[in-house]
Amino acid sequence: MMGGNHALSGALVWLAAAPVLGQERLLGEAAVNLTPKQLLAGAVVTAGAALLPDIDHHNGRIANTFGPVTRVFCKYVGKISGGHRQATHSIFFAVLMGFAMWALATYAIYGWWAALFVIIGFGLRGIGFDFEGKEPQSSILDCVLAGLAVYLMHDLDMSFAGYAVALGCLAHIAGDCLTPRGCPVFWPLRARIGLPLIPRTDGKVERWVIAPVLTVGVVILTMRSVLGDLGVEILTGSNTG
């Protein structure tokens, strides 16, 4: 699946899941009621995290995000995880990443900012934000934009980071499951799960079905959130007036 579609699928899953995340009846103390700013930040984090499972690919698009640093990192992740589309394409990895990012955001804010910088860098590269293979210009652009995004989010309560990252990874895995190779969703079990609806990366199905469906979904859910917030403001405004 194309990076841009992975990122879109992440944002879509986040926007769809947001109302559920606020339900205390369902999640108890782990429920988070998101402000509009948090909802937007979460969409950015989830879109970036939706590229994360591909850190097992040393020659993939996101391996080049920060030049040799990420190339070497991805090479080792690939070795440890058993190659491309192995351990990092599983529920285990999604939950592990979600938990790790929640812990960073809650107990080690500088660590979280560093992780956020990397996640957003991956996201930008994934959606094709680079100068067509030109390095180091592309890496510098990634650094500047990711740094700016981290700055914009630095004083936001990001206790929802774990949910965003886990959901992003799961969205990526679901997308890859639609390709012929499938994913070992229940790793360490070896069975690969797949429903090959997308026969070829960047083929007709991806361009003319998947991409438009994801885009329309993100637009509809964004509108729903914005209109929902406006409704709340109008209601509370009329109450106080």
Site string for Zn ion, 118-157 (x = CB under 5 A): ----------------------------------------
3-state secondary structure of 193: strand
Least distance (Å) from Zn ion to the CB of residue 85? 6
Stretch of 43-51, 143-151, 168-176, 230-238 contacting Zn ion, by CB under 5 A: 168-176
Kindly state the tokens that stand for 12: 């879509």
Nearer to Zn ion, 160 or 172 (CB): 172
Q: 7 near 169, Cβ under 8 Å?
A: no
Non-local CB neighbours of 196 within 8 Å, separated by 6+ positions: 178, 179, 180, 182
Kindly state the tokens that stand for 183: 């994913």
Nearer to Zn ion, 19 or 83 (CB): 83
Q: ∠ CA(148), CA(42), CA(118), 5° rounding?
A: 45
For the four alpha carbons of 225, 147, 139 and 114, in that order, the dihedral sign comes to negative
Nearer to Zn ion, 127 or 153 (CB): 127
User: What is the size of the binding site for Zn ion (CB under 5 A)?
Assistant: 3
Site string for Zn ion, 16-35 (x = CB under 5 A): --------------------
Q: How far apart are CA 188 and CA 176, in angstroms?
A: 17
- 206 is a site residue for Zn ion (CB under 5 A): no
Stretch of 99-107, 135-143, 152-160, 171-179 contacting Zn ion, by CB under 5 A: 171-179
- 176 is a site residue for Zn ion (CB under 5 A): yes
Site string for Zn ion, 49-88 (x = CB under 5 A): ----xx----------------------------------
Nearer to Zn ion, 150 or 178 (CB): 178
Omega within 30 of 0 (cis) for the link into 136: yes
Q: 51 near 126, Cβ under 8 Å?
A: yes
Q: How far apart are CA 96 and CA 113, in angstroms?
A: 18
What is the contact surface with Zn ion in residues (CB under 5 A)?
Answer: 53-54, 176
